[in-house]
Amino acid sequence: MSFDIPVAYPAAHPEICIPELDGKTAKMYRGGKICLTVHFGPLWQRNVPRFGIAHALALGLAPWLAAEVPDLVERGFITPV
């Protein structure tokens, strides 16, 4: 996992990238970037400058994982432990 911190940070939220999952889910941009714009972007804007990278992980990545991991397991891209 990696982060792309925009020049406008903290006014703009960081982008979270998981290159290992690139192309395996519809809610991901090229290069493995997680789609955070629709739901997390407005939340970030309302809470600037109190939010940081931990908030991006907890409030941006966690819901994405909750929605996408079961689908990835079902399609056989990842295996449960």
Phi, psi of 6 (to 5 degrees): -70, 160
CATH architecture entry for 2-74: Roll (3.10)
pLDDT beneath 50, residues of the chain: none
- Per DSSP, the three-state class of 36 is coil
Residue 39 has a pLDDT of: 81
Residue 46 has a pLDDT of: 92
pTM over 0.75: yes
Residue 17 has a pLDDT of: 92
Q: Which residues are catalytic?
A: 35
CB 31 within 8 A of CB 15: no
